[in-house]
Structure 1
Amino acid sequence: MTAPIRVGLISDTHGLLRPQVHEVFAGVDRILHAGDVCSDTILVELGLIAPTQAVYGNCDDPWDPSLREALDVEIGGLRIHVQHGHELGRPRPAQVAAAYEADVCVYGHTHKQVIERVDGRLVINPGAAGPRRFDLKPCVAILTIADGAASAELVELAY
């Protein structure tokens, strides 16, 4: 039995990193940002917490060398796909699962936090962590991988 791996999931910061993110992500092994970063300082600040990788969203510069179109990583033996979601319109979990082959699919764009199992795979939108929009509470997620299984929890942020 190996120690669980904890991954901070964040999206749609839109140039604002709330101080509470440092507390929520304290001790995570890495951070995956699902786009609409909108500031060079966001990734630098997240990098102070844990190694960070990010994809670009529809509000980001697709030519920014610190952002990728998509991430396909393996963590704890599971395949994880991260993409912003705007490439699918206004996606729902079933649509994301149908579009990408991975054990865990992470997306943003809609600002609506959700964790859903689709055909045994985990689909996560951590919500929008940046400025409050659409009357939704700011949110991030923690993905935990242990013994080849993934689980996740949403953590609402103060606003």
Structure 2
Amino acid sequence: MEIGVVSDTHGRLARGVLPALAGVELILHAGDIGNEMILGQLETIAPVLAIHGNTDQGTPLARAHPANRWIEREGVLIYMTHIGGQPRHLVQSLPKAADGRLPQVYIFGHSHQPLCEMHNSVLFLNPGTAGAPRGAGLSVARLTVANGQASAVIVEVQ
């Protein structure tokens, strides 16, 4: 299964995002959505599961979308939150699902800096920003999950 991952749109969706996500079966938005309209645009490609970010606090987006969420697809347990950090630190205090399992994929945003790294068998994935660049440019991620395994690539967009 191919999953598109976006974050930090801040009410803007770069024109290259939808083509970069073509063919995915699900889209995950890791917060700082900025405008519900963004989710509608993404839903033209695939169903969307979103969380709210710090800039969504106090808005209808924060009331409609949780601060974090667990998702399981194709035998892969995914945890999504907005503010992450350095994988070498995060891996020391990973959240546990209700059944005690640790995530195989840890998705976050906030920094606007793309990251795709494995640490202690956990894939840490920050897609960067799909709408509000801060030096690193615009990007999304494509996450592949199948048979209990996960891999991802960062895709630069215009």
**Under a length normalisation based on structure 1, what TM-score does the superposition of the two structures give?**
0.88
Q: Deviations over 1:7-60 (max 9, x none)?
A: 000000111111211111111010000000000100111111100011111100
1:113 aligns with 2:126: no
Matched-pair contact (CA < 8 Å) for 1:93–1:124: no
Match of 2:70 in 1: 72
Which deviates more from structure 2 when the two are superposed, residues 121-130 or residues 91-100?
Answer: 91-100
Match of 1:24 in 2: 20
Which deviates more from structure 2 when the two are superposed, residues 29-38 or residues 145-154?
Answer: 145-154
Change (3 A) 1:96 1:47: farther
Match of 1:123 in 2: 124
SS in 2 for 1:43: helix
Two-structure CA RMSD over aligned residues (Å): 1.4
1:12 aligns with 2:8: yes
Equivalent residue pairs, number:
149
Percent identity, aligned pairs only? 37
Q: Deviations over 1:89-111 (max 9, x none)?
A: xx112233333330100000111
Match of 1:136 in 2: 136
Unaligned runs of 5+ in 2: 96-101
Match for 2:94 among 93, 99, 109? 99
Match of 1:155 in 2: 155
Q: Deviations over 1:90-138 (max 9, x none)?
A: x1122333333301000001111111111011110111111222x1111
SS in 1 for 2:154: strand
CA distance in structure 2 between the aligned counterparts of 1:10 and 1:140, rounded to whole angstroms: 5
Q: Deviations over 1:35-89 (max 9, x none)?
A: 000001001111111000111111003553431111101010111000001xx6x
CA distance in structure 2 between the aligned counterparts of 1:68 and 1:96, rounded to whole angstroms: 20
Match of 1:38 in 2: 34
Unaligned runs of 5+ in 1: none
CA distance in structure 1 between the aligned counterparts of 2:89 and 2:51, rounded to whole angstroms: 19
SS in 1 for 2:17: helix
Match of 1:81 in 2: 79
CA distance in structure 1 between the aligned counterparts of 2:90 and 2:139, rounded to whole angstroms: 20
SS in 1 for 2:64: coil
